[in-house]
Chains A and B, each alone.
Chain A
Amino acid sequence: MNVLLVMIPLSLLLLLGAAAAFFWAVDHDQFDDMDSPGLVPLEDRPTSSGEQEEQRAP
């Protein structure tokens, strides 16, 4: 049962990591628009504007 002493803190750490990643995502507008990004893969040609936009975004 000693393995619990490693696994449980590890699971808690992973949990903290996941929560931190999610908080980051929410604060960086990843959940603000749930509809339109789904359309982007339907584009036939990749537009250069989209890439520029991402590069410029802070």
Chain B
Amino acid sequence: MNTPAATSAAAVAATPASSECWHCRAPLPRHDVVHARIAGQLRPMCCHGCRAAAEWIEALGLGDYYQLRTAPAPGPAPAGAPQLDPQLARHVIRELDRERHEAMLLVEGVRCTACVWLIERALGSAPGVVKVQVNAASRRARIVWRHADITLPQILSLLTRTGYRGLPLHAKALDDARRREFRDALKRLLVAGFGAMQAMMYAAVLYFGADALLDTSTQELFRWLGFVAAMPVVFYSARPFFSGAARALAARQLSMDVPVALAIALIYAASLIEALRGGGHVYFESVSMFVFFLLAGRYVEMRARHRSGELTDALARLTPMCADRLRADGSIERIGIHELRAGDLALVAEGGIVPADGVLLSEQCRVDEALLSGESTPIQRRGGERLTGGSLLIEGPARLRIDRVGADTTLAGIAALVERAQAERPQLARAGDRAAALFVARVLTLTVLTAAAWTLVDPARAFEAALAVLVVSCPCAFALAVPAAITRAIAVLARHGVLVVKPDAIQALAETSQVVFDKTGTLTEPELTVSDLQTFGGTTPDTALAMAAALAQGSRHPVARAMVRAFASTPTCTPTLDAATHVTATAGLGISGELAGRRLRLGRPDFAQTPGTTPIDDDQVLLADTKGPIAAFRLSECLRADARAAVDALRAQGLTIALASGDAAAKVAQVATRLDIDQWRARQLPAEKLAWLTELRAKGARVMAVGDGINDAPVLAGADVAVAMMSSAELAQASSDIVLSGNRLEALATARATAIQTMTILRQNHRWALGYNLTAVPLAALGFVPPWLAALGMSLSSLCVILNALRIGRQAKAMRRPARQLSGAPTPMPMPSQRASLVP
């Protein structure tokens, strides 16, 4: 067999991970483990879905995926082949020509480049598919196919078989604004680079051989060559600065673009006049280099911005594309979501997404509102209660009367709230821009004064001196001071798994004085764990857990999943266990079934318990047979492995830590005690969290909010610095300044240290730029600075700023905490006391 397969197999055997599914790395069930032959070896799989996916990947000859990937595969997508009705097709499919159609999909579950490789290969090998392009960063796939050979639903179902879910986006998404922006920026950057190099070469000739070797006409030639080389840089590459300046001036504001555009235009125009006059010095190379440096900075900023989520993606993910409408005669028709009207009756199947807000007509159902509320436990809804659009139906089916659609839904309301909070955010960068603009205004005044003064003294030198002032004082150092430091900081932070979405955030991060954490999914793992187990009548905990797991095996309920996971992680369990028979789930109460001839019930105490026995706490899950209770389980969330270290590190930096959660007081208090957090609030609605945040900010605190749910989105948008987890809801990511990739909370402390260092260096840069200008400008005004020295001074001052900015990563490394194990997925760490009670 080939070596990579053998090594990875050995690695799997060596770690406790041998109880993991080969495909998705979920813990294996204790029985009913299915196996698939991959690369000649039997591999365990957690379910038939994973086996099908793995075998299919193998059959396509794509087994290499398992060696190339850096993150586990997503589990099989929920059952139900994707459907697409002709109505909807009109909106998502674009006809390229008579034969070929094109569509843009948002692919869920893309985690690393191996996923991209797998999707491109798997779909690309299907007959009729012409082109597949997957972008891991934006999670978008552009697919071109011949509609005579294959249809979009078929392509979507192929994608589902690989384990990814594809959502067709509106055809407008094909004219992707982000892609256009990226390509434009890349072209402009390259043109500026080429132009600057050429201009510099021609200028070097003038610098070093001007008097001795070249005659006047050759000098003239090189001046005009510089003009030619700088032309595309100024007129093509620098266009964003000019249009930005025009926009800012039209809005009567002074942005950084204004001084930059002014400097570019003035230096270029002055150099052109000099070239026309046939004497003096030209600065075409300076202006080209200036544009190139600035564009390089903006390019890096843009890449960081594109890597994070967008509001439109978030809404596309949450809102289903179609809904099932009940007609008056009882038949069901599938319609596009935009056709749904208030007053319609809609049917949602189990596992489906509620299409819009409405009132439940069925007796009861259970919905997972995690995407909306961030809290993981599914919620029981009874007839007459409201269902929120975007939530996932766990137990159903549900019939509901839609009463709010489109922009009136809760989901759209939250999105609007986010947008408003974003608009109200204080613009920190504006102050810096204003300072630079003021500086430019002063320099311009000084230039005019210099010209006027020299005209009186010696008119022949007036133009040269004025130009020297303009060049030597060119706001390069000012213009570059901020972008150079910020750009470097963004790159350094990205290496630590901290994606900075809005560059402003670095300054705010350095000034943070208080951190407000969300609980579920942020400080704790998004899933439940069995934390406490109490047995009755001499049953051992392991046996009780095995019985519970056998019953819970087939259920998708989070409590049932927690039972199965807890059993799979018990070290002493015996694999000899019969599967439970006659398993029936009663919605909202529990599961019953037969195991080895005993009639067992698992669920809420009032469901599992036969009347007349010892009462059990209501928040526990009880396992009982006909004779009486067998075991009582307490479920809790477990802290993220690095939550403690992260909180301690932030506290060590002098920050106040607070906790705000929508969860019950007891649960929040438990987490707060474990992490020594004094300030905490429970049962908080998004609006209440936001109010608390405003209150804290009014007291003068600079607040960093860390969260993951959509209910956190308004809070995130209203904070000074908003941090979202990579696994969090799209909407939360879209309203955040910083996204933690890899969900490593610990990176926060490093990020803050880097931000503080960045601000220090930024201030140094500013001071340097100011000092240099204060020295150079008066000298130039007095006529002591020859033009070549002015250009050299300007270039060197810019270089100093850039070199200083490059120090940012180096010192942060020394400031980092001692090395920790970074490789591999972080394992959830249950709270120690509870761990002890689980394995007595």
Contact = CB atoms under 8 A, between A and B. Distances in A.
Contacts of B121: 47, 49-50
Contact of B228 (A12, A31, A48, A57): A12
Contacts of A12: 198, 228
B62 interface: yes
- Interface residues on chain A, size class: 20 to 34
B179 interface: yes
Contacts of B183: 26-27, 31
Contact of B113 (A8, A39, A49): A39
B116 A33 contact: yes
Main secondary structure of the interface of B (DSSP, over half): helix
A8 B198 CA distance: 10
Contacts of B228: 12
Given A29-B133, A42-B64, A42-B68, A36 B124 contact: no
Nearest to B63: A44
B116 A47 contact: no
A9 to B, nearest CB: 10
A1 B218 contact: yes
Contact of A57 (B131, B134, B218): B131
Interface in B101-157: 113-114, 116-117, 120-121, 124-125, 130-136
A35 B191 contact: no
B503 to A, nearest CB: 22
B134 A36 contact: yes
Contacts of A29: 133
A48 B218 CA distance: 59
A57 B96 CA distance: 13
B64 A36 contact: no
Using C-beta atoms within 8 Å of the partner chain, give the interface range for chain B. 35 or more
A36 B187 contact: no
A36 B198 contact: no
B61 interface: yes
A16 to B, nearest CB: 9
B141 to A, nearest CB: 11
A47 B61 contact: yes
A11 B228 CA distance: 13
B124 A53 contact: yes
B2 A44 contact: yes
Contacts of A32: 133, 135, 179, 182
Nearest to B197: A15
B190 interface: yes
Contacts of B191: 19
B146 to A, nearest CB: 9
Contact of A40 (B4, B117, B125): B117
B589 interface: no
A45 B61 contact: yes
Given A31-B183, A32-B182, A50-B124, 5 more contacts: A15-B198, A19-B190, A33-B134, A33-B135, A53-B124
Interface of B: 2, 4, 60-62, 64, 67-68, 113-114, 116-117, 120-121, 124-125, 130-136, 179, 182-183, 186-187, 190-191, 194, 198, 214, 218, 221, 225, 228
Interface of A: 1, 4, 8, 11-12, 15, 18-19, 22-23, 26-27, 29, 31-33, 35-36, 38-40, 42-45, 47-50, 52-53, 56-58
